[in-house]
Amino acid sequence: MKSLKRSGLGADVTVPTDNVYLTSPPASHVEDGAAELEVDVVVRAGDWEREPADWSALADAALSAAFSIALKDKAAVAIEGDGAGWGDAPPRQGEVCVVLNDDDGVRALNRQWRAKDRPTNVLSFPAMGDAVPSDAMPWLLGDIVLALETVVREAREQGKTVEAHFSHLLVHGMLHLLGFDHETPRQAARMEPLEVAILATLGIADPYPQCDEG
């Protein structure tokens, strides 16, 4: 799971007019009357309809929870490299696009932007870079791209439902869009517990293996 630090990539990742839109109009969610997120889900490639899941509803729930809870995590901005640069005025509205792709499509993106010629489960493409969002308009967060075959295979290998793994990857991808990372132990110590807390609100167990001490 990796975030790609490239501003404005959404124009390259989102699909043309023949995409299948799973939400019409895009779903929106309001949490506590404060944080509002518009979620747009499109199918670029892959037989996503083969899996008996409501991808739009899952995406809306997972991303809205991540957006709302992460914005309330004020401690995040105090740690260098964790949390976006919104200071004491976090954005109240946001927009994110979920691109449902297949392994071949994600492999091409992974090769182009990370020089890794293999598919991966999720890629995040922030749209605003280091720009500070304005309260006057929704914050264009960026795109989260998932690879169908990898998502399904990993879920089965890990003994999880595809829906739970899909939701976890979206939460992970959203935190990357919001500026969180896990490249260092300090960053991971902030990001991973936040993931776990968000997933708990969705009824999803801690996805990270626990190590016994002693």
**Residue 172 in marked binding region:** yes
Helix ranges (H only) for the chain are: 10-13, 55-72, 103-114, 148-157, 162-177, 185-201
Q: Helix, strand, or coil here: 41?
A: strand
**CA–CA dist 189, 195 (Å, integer):** 11
Rg (Cα) of the chain, in Å, rounded? 16
Any binding-site annotation on 182? yes
- In this structure, is the dihedral angle defined by the CA atoms of residues 65, 68, 70 and 75, taken in order, positive or negative? negative
Q: Binding site for Zn(2+): what residues are annotated? A: 172, 176, 182
Binding site membership: which residues?
A: 172, 176, 182
